[in-house]
A and B are shown apart, each in its own frame.
Chain A
């Protein structure tokens, strides 16, 4: 690094930023100072870029789907891959720009204040945020929400690795409670150009979850599985999300225990709800609706905000699945339970870990006494 960026230099206030770009281009030539003299080639940049790659299919499909939904609303038929994708890409690109410029800006600034290297955490959060918001969200709202989530959800705790809640979900929660009109109902999920309105007969842009009763069957299993339904940008396609899940599980970055637990919990409550006559929806359909799949694969498995212990991961996952479906079944005003389920369990993850670890310590002490 040039001398003027080092401590005492004129441009020291840019130190973290320069360092971030430098380490982005090169693996730095720093050597181990103590302890283990050799190190594994893995670093956080590598782990986190894999998460982004895993989410890429969902993002690409989401962009196409934005165009597709717009086409449906305009009364068009057909798949028009490139045309729809381009439409969606232009709609989603500003979301990405806002997400990264605002989020990374704050991240760089606070790293500089702390005098640390810039952590890669926001690379992933910033990629997720546009995928879990409605495509027509005003950009200033997104900017405010991102700023809130990064400052109060992450930096005040000490940055990446220290946060309690998932920053991406915190962004969505902020939007949801501050600007509910833009985050629910039937108007927000379809992108329109200025002055356009839906022309197709009986068209509704509500997400399948927001529709009542039998109307929910208006979108069948395969529509939901492939993802040709209205919804947040990246959450609709279960098959694209599954592709990501395979990569995350294979590399071991995401915990299979959390994913399985969440699916299991959702199936159980969904089945009970169905059997008790609370809902007509078969339990397996619950896995396809709304943000469940995206939340289970990409949000619940965030290693920072989920449980640390192996046993805790099961509890964490199961509770998320159960809570999500419970909210769906009993709260008609708020059809999507995944966001709150994960945020709530993020809050309780340290408590779950505490219980698991305490139980382990007690077991150990008993074993030692017996020995």
Chain B
């Protein structure tokens, strides 16, 4: 194992509502959604119609550009509804789940004995392929590409994120199988949290283990890649979440497409936050016991507070997510808020408040913006202190705003996804949507480089 990479910059947002380490419920929801929007870069082509019967692992949606890339059903049942939005955009395929689950049999095999193409074929056919994210740009992985390496972060550092030691510590054998499979395609790098003693994942073999210590975003795979082996122009790497690696392992070990996972239900507005075992595409309403009778006052986020998606009460758990965060909408005005010397209930990293005196405190945060949007005023250094990457965040964001491809390239657009700059957005006194700037910059790159 290599030496510990210590990241001094970063920020752990001290918010209340972390999940207790217990599984409060294991469920198969009555209705499950398959949503093409969960996979960036996928152009959906519908493969089923209403009333069709599907098994767990049956194809539901294919990609138009690469028809072999499939999204498959996470449960067995019948197609209940096909939800379309404006211009008939496919939003979701709703599947009514059976009482007893039936699986497509993909056959048990030993991945170590397979070739790279056979592993790819197995992932494509089962519908696990979209679990892979291709960097730069964070898009659907291209089956024809040969990545430089595959990176997996074995820990989450985001606010209230699921504890992987708890959720996946018992599935090390499957993860090991998954590593063996992906290692047929490219070298696998797994990053561990150095502050966890005796990590269940420290015994993984067939991959390169890296140890990271630091505040968020130390657990972001993008930050880890920039410290392990930065992405150069023209290179591609693949990443996937740890539970995705376990799912790949299960595919080879059991022959089944099984994306059931432990989901952390968290957030300052969550009642008795804890873990739930379920499948992706679970409606948020299935988490009703975790929120009160006034859901219109809450925000439901699939993912974490810094970079998750606001899915609403009618939304669904994201395909790659293992966390639901519930938080009150902060629509109350605060009388002379900004000039009060203490503002005891608010958290700020800035020394003009006094949160630094109580580093142990957790705060009951809301979604209030705490100000109005302004142009960038503070120096780059104000943002760089929470970004453990060799990048000038303000220069990069400004290049993205200006749509200057040449500068975006130089300032490191290949190395980042919006989520990596989430802490910069959090501390920004100018209240700029920095992640949105980066996302727009990436979209521009995709358009221009295509």
Partner-B contacts on A (CB < 8 A)? 23, 25-47, 49-50, 117, 119-121, 158-162, 250-253, 255, 303-304, 306-310, 313, 357, 360-361, 364, 367-369, 371
Choose from B339, B347, B368 the contact partner of A30 (Cβ within 8 Å): B368
Partner-A contacts on B (CB < 8 A)? 13, 15, 159, 229-230, 232, 299, 301, 305-308, 310, 325, 327, 329-339, 343, 346-353, 365-382, 390, 392, 394-395, 410-412, 418, 422, 425-431, 433-436
Q: Can you offer 19 A-B residue contacts whose CB atoms are under 8 A?
A: A26-B336, A26-B337, A27-B338, A31-B299, A35-B435, A36-B307, A36-B425, A38-B15, A42-B353, A42-B370, A43-B371, A43-B429, A44-B377, A161-B377, A250-B351, A309-B392, A357-B392, A364-B390, A371-B229
Known: A26-B334, A31-B330. A38 touches B352 (CB 8 A): no
Q: How far is the CA of A364 from the CA of B430 in the complex (A)?
A: 29
Are B370 and A40 interface neighbours, CB within 8 A? yes
Are B349 and A40 interface neighbours, CB within 8 A? yes
Q: In the complex, which residues of chain B have a beta carbon less than 8 angstroms from the beta carbon of A121?
A: 377
A140 → B minimal CB distance (Å)? 31
Choose from A35, A40, A49, A161 the contact partner of B374 (Cβ within 8 Å): A161
Q: In the complex, which residues of chain A have a beta carbon less than 8 angstroms from the beta carbon of B431?
A: 39, 43
Q: In the complex, which residues of chain A have a beta carbon less than 8 angstroms from the beta carbon of B430?
A: 44, 161
Q: How far is the CA of A10 from the CA of B314 in the complex (A)?
A: 38
Most central of A29, A34, A37, A360 by chain B CB within 10 Å: A37
Of chain A, the residue at the smallest CB distance from B375 is: A161
Are B381 and A31 interface neighbours, CB within 8 A? no
Q: How far is the CA of A40 from the CA of B429 in the complex (A)?
A: 8
Q: Knowing that A27-B333, A41-B346, A308-B395 are A-B contacts, what are 8 other residue pairs whose CB atoms are under 8 Å apart, sorted by A's residue number?
A: A29-B332, A35-B436, A40-B347, A43-B338, A44-B377, A307-B379, A313-B379, A364-B412
Are B330 and A42 interface neighbours, CB within 8 A? no
Of chain B, the residue at the smallest CB distance from A301 is: B379
Are A47 and B429 interface neighbours, CB within 8 A? yes
Q: How far is the CA of A25 from the CA of B334 in the complex (A)?
A: 8
Of chain B, the residue at the smallest CB distance from A253 is: B352
- 3 tightest CB-CB pairs across the interface, nearest first? A43-B371, A161-B375, A27-B337
Are B339 and A255 interface neighbours, CB within 8 A? no
Choose from A25, A39, A161, A309 the contact partner of B369 (Cβ within 8 Å): A39
Are A37 and B395 interface neighbours, CB within 8 A? no
A281 → B minimal CB distance (Å)? 33
Q: How far is the CA of A49 from the CA of B336 in the complex (A)?
A: 13
A81 → B minimal CB distance (Å)? 27
Q: How far is the CA of A36 from the CA of B375 in the complex (A)?
A: 18
Q: How far is the CA of A369 from the CA of B233 in the complex (A)?
A: 10
Q: Give the interface SS of chain A, mostly helix, strand, loop or mixed.
A: loop
B277 → A minimal CB distance (Å)? 25
Of chain A, the residue at the smallest CB distance from B233 is: A368
Choose from A160, A162, A303 the contact partner of B379 (Cβ within 8 Å): A303
Of chain A, the residue at the smallest CB distance from B346 is: A41
Known: A161-B377, A162-B375. A42 touches B350 (CB 8 A): yes
Known: A29-B331, A37-B305. A42 touches B349 (CB 8 A): yes
Are B370 and A36 interface neighbours, CB within 8 A? no
Q: How far is the CA of A36 from the CA of B339 in the complex (A)?
A: 24
Q: In the complex, which residues of chain B have a beta carbon less than 8 angstroms from the beta carbon of A33?
A: 433
Q: How far is the CA of A30 from the CA of B331 in the complex (A)?
A: 6
Are A251 and B390 interface neighbours, CB within 8 A? no
Q: How far is the CA of A25 from the CA of B15 in the complex (A)?
A: 27
Of chain B, the residue at the smallest CB distance from A361 is: B410
Are A306 and B429 interface neighbours, CB within 8 A? no
Known: A23-B372, A46-B352, A368-B230. A38 touches B307 (CB 8 A): no
Q: In the complex, which residues of chain A have a beta carbon less than 8 angstroms from the beta carbon of B348?
A: 40-42
Q: How far is the CA of A38 from the CA of B369 in the complex (A)?
A: 7
Choose from B332, B334, B339, B367 the contact partner of A37 (Cβ within 8 Å): B367
Q: How far is the CA of A30 from the CA of B374 in the complex (A)?
A: 14
Q: How far is the CA of A369 from the CA of B229 in the complex (A)?
A: 11
Q: In the complex, which residues of chain B have a beta carbon less than 8 angstroms from the beta carbon of A47?
A: 350, 352, 377-378, 429
Choose from B308, B380, B426 the contact partner of A39 (Cβ within 8 Å): B426
A111 → B minimal CB distance (Å)? 11
Of chain B, the residue at the smallest CB distance from A360 is: B392
Are A308 and B394 interface neighbours, CB within 8 A? yes
Of chain A, the residue at the smallest CB distance from B268 is: A38
Are B390 and A41 interface neighbours, CB within 8 A? no
Choose from A27, A39, A40, A303 the contact partner of B377 (Cβ within 8 Å): A303
